[in-house]
Structure 1
Amino acid sequence: MKKRIVTQMTVISFIVGLMIAVQYNTVQNPTTRDTRDIWAIRQELSEEKENHSKLLSEIATYNEFIEQYKDDDTQSQAALLNKTVDDLKREIGLLPVNGPGLVLDISPAMELVQFGYEIEPIAPDLLIRLVNEIYRYNGLYIEIAGQRLTHRSAIRDINGATTVNGVAIDETDINIKIITETFEKAEKLYGYLYASTFRDDFYLDNLNLRINGAQKNIKIAEVDGPLSTDYLVENNEGD
């Protein structure tokens, strides 16, 4: 009996000692080390809080829609559903949209043209980076050289040409239309883009990027051509 107790105590002591050793090693030698300064961490935290706020706003909007649908009569419900369908069509690009925003103008740097520099259309990687930053800073809808961006849009290099929605952007003079949720957000986006390095980045590619001020009403057309529905299946139940 005494031998059994000693054995159990030995096993327990070994386990406890092993756990302490592992914990000590983890503290002394962490597997990953965060080398960012406090401002970088605060910036990331601010972005996460902003994303959280956006999600809460979307949830509140849909909850409000559900309550309206419950309280309204049949005719009002039909009108509400039609409005929701139109809103969804605008989001996916089937209907034109208008609202506050700004316009970016891209053109050749004429002083470089005069010195014989070759001017190429905007590179796809630079365009992708610009689009990502626009979406990151409150851009809702974007149109590039007449091509509206949707959830299925692609910006690619095809045979040496920059393409948007499969259409080649072969002109050096183009504009980018951006629509935001509010005029205040359009002004914030303007401020961010104006203070960013994008104008320098474009100039390195022999292009000028002009960031025009926020406007109260900008119109973006619907998608040019049908949207692909390869993965959608029609549901005929209830016919």
Structure 2
Amino acid sequence: MKKRILTRFTVIMFVIGLMTAMQYNTINEPDARDTRDVWEVRQELSREKQLHSQLLSEISTLDETLNKYDVDTNASPEQALRETAGELRNAAGLTETTGPGIEILVEPSMETVALGFEIEGISPDLLIRLVNEINRYNGLYVSIDDKRIINTTAIRDINGQTTVNAKPVEMPPFSIKIISESMEDSEKLYNHLLSSRILDDFYIDNLTLTVSAPKKDLIIEAYDEVIDTKYLQSTEEE
């Protein structure tokens, strides 16, 4: 009888001890902490503020377009439609664009040429990173090796070769053109690229970026392919 009571007491104490240990670990287990430093948090905040500003700018532009369309429609519906279609074609990259911008020359590093190493093409990942860096600083219109970048552009590897819009990118050297909304935006992008870590990323791949000073009238060619609209559907007015 005593042995049975002792066994039960031992089991009960074991359960109590186990529950106490679990509760202690739960209380003292540290919460996952944000290990980013102040500078990284400030950079993230800056990116979010830039995105917010960009969205507000786009909303304002759309409101202005709607107001202009309402006014022009009352005066001349045909002219309003033509102007709207022209603006949409330009925004979609279907027309040649001229404006303030910069040009980037991508070429093999001097060490690669001097040592006689084989010159390799740019990787899709590196090219995508550069385009993302450009878009962060209001690069409105971009062309890579005379291939216009639009919303449906794909940068990928096809049979071991980097392609833009399914067309192969030439071996370096080749140029990248970027047009911004204003000279001020072009100068900001220019200064950012000169101090960006993307330069080191290119150098690791035996490539260098030479960024030209901002130009007032840079020309970017139009997108020369047919845009696939098979998934688009027209809306009907209620």
**TM-score normalised to structure 2 length:** 0.80
Q: Which residue of 1 aligns with 2:207?
A: 207
Q: After superposing the two structures, state which structure 1 stretch, 136-145 or 200-209, moved more.
A: 200-209
Which of these two proteins has the greater Rg computed from alpha carbons? 2
Q: Which residue of 1 aligns with 2:23?
A: none
Deviations 1:137-175 (A, max 9, x none): 111111001111111111111111111111111322100
Counterpart check, 1:92 vs 2:92: yes
Q: Which residue of 1 aligns with 2:228?
A: 228
Counterpart check, 1:197 vs 2:197: yes
Query: Secondary structure of 2:140's partner?
Result: strand
Change (3 A) 1:75 1:109: same
Q: Which residue of 1 aligns with 2:150?
A: 150
Query: Secondary structure of 1:208's partner?
Result: strand
One-letter amino acid matched to 1:47: R
Change (3 A) 1:69 1:142: closer
One-letter amino acid matched to 1:177: K
Q: Which residue of 2 aligns with 1:170?
A: 170
Counterpart check, 1:109 vs 2:96: no
Q: Which residue of 1 aligns with 2:128?
A: 128
One-letter amino acid matched to 2:89: K
Structure 1: gaps of 5 or more residues? 1-24
Structure 2: gaps of 5 or more residues? 1-25
Change (3 A) 1:204 1:29: closer
Q: 1:102, 1:178 within 8 Å by CA — same for their partners in 2?
A: yes
Q: 1:148, 1:220 within 8 Å by CA — same for their partners in 2?
A: yes
What count of residue pairs does the alignment treat as equivalent? 213
User: Offset at 1:42?
Assistant: 2.4
Change (3 A) 1:153 1:72: closer
One-letter amino acid matched to 2:38: I
Change (3 A) 1:137 1:228: same
Change (3 A) 1:60 1:110: closer
Change (3 A) 1:38 1:212: same
Query: Secondary structure of 2:128's partner?
Result: helix
Q: 2:103, 2:176 within 8 Å by CA — same for their partners in 1?
A: yes
Q: After superposing the two structures, state which structure 1 stretch, 119-128 or 67-76, moved more.
A: 67-76
Distance 1:102 1:158 in 2: 29
Greater than 4 Å deviation, 4+ residue runs: 25-29
Query: Secondary structure of 1:142's partner?
Result: strand
Distance 2:73 2:231 in 1: 35
User: Offset at 1:61?
Assistant: 2.3
Aligned-residue Cα RMSD (Å) equals: 2.5
Query: Secondary structure of 1:223's partner?
Result: coil
Q: Percent identity?
A: 47
Distance 2:104 2:229 in 1: 31
Q: 1:161, 1:170 within 8 Å by CA — same for their partners in 2?
A: no
